[in-house]
Structure 1
Amino acid sequence: MKIHFLIPILLVCMLIGACEKDLFVKDIADEKVVLLSPGNGVSLKAQTINFIWEEVEDATNYRFRLATPSFDSIQLLLIDSMASKTTISFNLNPGIYEWQIRGENEGSNTGYSTYKIFIDSTSDLSGFQLVLSTPGDSFYTNVSKPQFSWEGLPIASEYNYKIVKGVDFENGELFTSKINTDKTSLTLTKALENGFYTWGINAENDNSKTNYSTRFMYFDDQVPGKPQLKTPTNGELRNIGNTTFTWTTPSDNGSPVRDSLILSTDSLFRSGNKYHLVSNGSYTDSLARGITYYWKMSTTDRAGNWSGYTTPFNFTIQ
């Protein structure tokens, strides 16, 4: 009997413990972020600076701030950014800076830990990493002549753009000849062909150059096929309110696709529409009786190509 009496108590305790873990967030106000690199008071050449700090237990993210010349006599707050990891990188021009970090979670935050650094002038680009802006990495697009942009470096005299077919940037086939520019953006003049590309930019001056910074992209201008509606069939009378919609989606060799289903009580879909992103060829919905419903579908791929809508089907729940 004692064993049977203890089991419910143990279960309740376990449930309470689990709830407390989910409902209560640890207060980290008394914790401190330990800054690792760059150290306090160090002098560095102008380059890409990697800021690194120790993880704070129970912190879910970190607020990074950078000011010049200091937070006590601030002239310019250059960066106020959130990071989920314990490192972040920026290109810095010559000057005096302070950087600081605090840990945060849903309920509290630590105080700021602050270090001062000095950035000396240099004409050597080899320590820099060019920061690419747009398009984002692993980008899908149906724009045949996209624009590319990146952050400039004050000591760079020009930038070299390169795009190759496929994912082998070093040895892949050049899609266009290399492009030299003193701007920080350019638009392709040759239309892309369907497929994967790797593009990259480096900076150079009379004395040195950076390595290439690269990203992947995929161009796809092929319109996906429309889904083929299967059930409920057109004009069907149904006796149950729990209705499963089924369809087939034509195969597509381009970018990934997703299907959309629109359900309405209006034959022209002017009002009362329900929109559903669906997958795997089926979707189930609980529907009211005594109503005629209309449904149609379309397919969109990740590059933004749209199939258009299917011819609507209608069915009635008796």
Structure 2
Amino acid sequence: MKKIFKLLCFLLIVVIYSCDDILEEDITGDTVQIASPAEGQVVVGNTVQFLWQNLDGADNYRVQVLDQNQTLALDSLVSQNLLEYNLNEGSYQWRVKGENFAYETEFTFPVNFTVEVSDDLTNQSVLLSTPSDELYTNDTNITFTWNTLSSVDSYTSEVVKSNNGETTIYQEAGITTTSFNIDAALFDVDAEYIWKVKGVNTTSETTFSERSLFIDRVAPNIPTLNTPDDNITSTTEVTFNWTNGTDTGNIQSTVTNTIEIASDINFSSLLFSDDTQNNTYQYTFSNTGVYYWRVRAYDQAGNQSDNSITRTLTIE
């Protein structure tokens, strides 16, 4: 009877771990069909539209582009059958494959194409560099940068505050470098700020390229410790639980908790530290003795709460 029970448990485990494979379609023998750029195509301007046909059973597509030195210029995973990307003038190869949770196709055969400069900026765009899109930060001393675009005489930049409506807080035309800074005081409230850049010459201009930036200077609340209670005695395996600190500012982002365990109340002899977005952590102590634990919270912008109260536990 015990053997039958063990066999049933084993089969159940196999079924559970194989469930995703069973539900996913096997696409290993399929091939993604490329649409554009086609072999030998010349793309005029710096914005390349990569297009392929949807493949049944593929949840995502891996797109890779190699430059003329066979250096990877792009490696991106997308869920649609279209990807737009800015490339400098030169010769390239691109390929794509389909993927799902359990399977993937082979890459398509590399397709060669060329990017050529054009004086007409209408169908081109400025490739923004830093800061990255949707960055959360508490630093208002920011340098905005982008890549040089051929055939551009100058650039125009804008910064828009999005807070109960949109307000332009900065504009500058005739920029001949590839960066600008603004007065930190213009970031007067925590909010989403949209920064934009376009290229201009005597006959044409690009559309604005834009990214979002989130200024957040409010720290999360201090986490509240729940269990174990203070001054308890426990076995070596302990589950720590607390109420997460929350981000109460105007801009709210994911809050991460840092749990620390030490052998002294000042935490100068740190035994363990780890980050988690959960509100519980299980830890197994190697030695008996008296230990101390606490938790603090920080958000994506780098704001950090104070440490929680410290609790003591004795491991026997």
Pairs within 5 Å for 1:296-311: 296-311=294-309
* Match of residue 122, structure 1, among 106, 118, 137: 118
Task: State the shift of 1:51 in Å.
Answer: 1.4
Q: Which residue matches 1:261?
A: 259
- Report the number of matched residues: 298
| CA–CA distance in structure 2, aligned partners of residues 218 and 65 of structure 1 | 31
Query: C-alpha separation between the residues in 1 aligned to 2:270 and 2:46?
Result: 57
Give CA-to-partner distance per residue, 1:3-47, whole Å, 9 cap, x none.
Answer: xxxxx99x969956973863999583x644321013334444324
CA 1:34–1:197 in structure 2 vs 1: closer, same or farther (change >3 Å)?
same
Alpha-carbon shift at residue 217 of structure 1 (Å)? 1.5
Check conservation: 1:198, 1:214, Cα contact below 8 A.
yes
- Partner of 1:45 in structure 2? 44
Indicate the residue corresponding to 1:215 in structure 2: 211
Give the 3-state SS of the residue equivalent to 1:22 in structure 2. Answer: helix
Q: SS state of the match for residue 176, structure 1? A: strand
Structure 2 spans left out of the alignment, 5+ residues: 1-6
Work out the CA distance in 1 between the residues paired with 2:238 and 2:108: 56
Task: Give the deviation of 1:273 after TM superposition.
Answer: 1.9
Alpha-carbon deviation of 1:286?
6.4
Answer yes or no: is 1:91 the counterpart of 2:86: yes
User: Where do residues 53-72 of structure 1 align in structure 2 (5 Å cutoff)?
Assistant: 53-56=52-55, 61-68=61-68
Q: Tell me: CA distance 1:116–1:136, structure 2 relative to 1, closer, same or farther (3 Å).
A: same
Instruction: Choose which of 199, 203, 210 in structure 2 pairs with 1:203.
Output: 199
SS at match of 1:149: strand
- The reply to whether residue 100 of structure 1 matches residue 99 of structure 2 is no
Change beyond 3 A, Cα 1:46–1:196: closer
Given residue 215 of structure 1, which amino acid in structure 2 is its aligned partner? R
Would the alpha carbon gap of residues 189 and 288 (structure 1) be closer, same or farther in structure 2, given more than 3 Å must change? same
Helix, strand or coil at the partner of 2:21: helix
2: CA distance, partners of 1:148 / 1:175:
15
- The yes-or-no answer on 1:314 pairing with 2:308 is no
How far the C-alpha of 1:209 sits from its partner, in A, is: 0.8
SS at match of 2:18: helix
Structure 1 residue aligned with 2:32? 33
Q: Does 1:176 align with 2:174?
A: no
SS at match of 1:19: helix
How far apart, in 2, do the equivalents of 1:111 and 1:243 lie? 46
* Deviating more after overlay: 76-85 vs 181-190: 76-85
TM-score where L is the length of structure 1: 0.74
Offset from partner CA, 1:102-156 (integer Å, 9 cap, x none)? 4276887635424444555421111012222222222110111112122221111
Give the direction of change, closer, same or farther, for the CA distance of 1:41–1:219 in structure 2 (3 Å limit): same
TM score, norm. by length of structure 2: 0.75
1:65 corresponds to which letter in structure 2? V
2:3 aligned residue: none
Q: Is the 8 A contact 1:33 1:101 kept in 2?
A: no
What is the one-letter code of the residue matched to 2:166? G
After superposition, the C-alpha distances for 1:263-290 in whole angstroms (9 at most, x for unaligned) are: 233333313224352545x656566896
Residue 299 (structure 1) shift: 1.8
Letter in 1 for 2:177: K
Other-structure match for 1:185: 179
C-alpha change, 1:15 and 1:305, in structure 2 (3 Å) is closer
Q: Once the 2 structures are TM-superposed, how far is the Cα of residue 90 of structure 1 from its aligned partner?
A: 3.1
**Alpha-carbon distance in structure 2 between the residues aligned to 1:174 and 1:89:** 27
Mapped pair 1:162 → 2:158: yes
Q: Which residue identity does 2:266 align to in structure 1? A: L
Aligned amino acid, residue 196 of structure 2 = G
Which shifted more, 221-230 or 46-55? Answer: 221-230
Percent identity (aligned): 21
Task: Choose 1 or 2 for highest CA Rg.
Answer: 1
Give the CA RMSD over aligned residues. 4.0
Partner amino acid for 1:292?
V
List per-residue Cα deviations over 1:72-119 (Å, max 9, x = no partner).
Answer: xxx665735343444333334555x35331427688763542444455
CA separation of 1:117 and 1:302: change in aligned 2, threshold 3 A: closer
- Relative to structure 1, the CA distance from residue 165 to residue 109 in structure 2 (aligned partners, 3 Å threshold; closer, same or farther) is same
User: What displacement does 1:259 show?
Assistant: 2.7
Check whether the contact 1:63–1:104 (CA below 8 A) recurs between aligned residues.
Answer: no
Distance in 2 (CA, whole Å) between partners of 1:264 and 1:52 is 55
**What's the CA shift for 1:176?**
2.4
Change (3 A) 1:13 1:43: same
